[in-house]
Amino acid sequence: MRTKTKQILFKVDQDEYAQIRDRMNECGIINMSRFIRVITTQGYIYHINAESVTECSRLLSNISGNINQLAKRANTTGNIYAADLDEIKSAFSEIMTQFKEVLQEFLRIYDVVDKHRKSRRA
Among 35, 37, 38, 15, which Cα is nearest to 25's? 35
- Cα angle: 24, vertex 47, 118; to 5 degrees: 110
pTM > 0.75: no
* pLDDT value of position 122: 65
Q: Which amino acid is at 115?
A: K
What own/partner pairs with CB < 8 Å and gap ≥ 24 does 96-99 have?
98/52, 98/55, 98/56, 98/59, 99/56
| 15-19, 63-67, 105-109, 112-116: the lowest-pLDDT one | 112-116
Query: Cα separation of 82 and 80, whole Å?
Result: 7
- pLDDT, mean over the chain: 83
- Domain chopping of the chain, boundaries: 1-47, 50-121
What is the pLDDT averaged over residues 45-70?
80
- pLDDT tens figures, 13-22: 999 999 999 9
CA distances to 26, 72, 94 from 83, rounded to whole Å, are 43, 16, 17
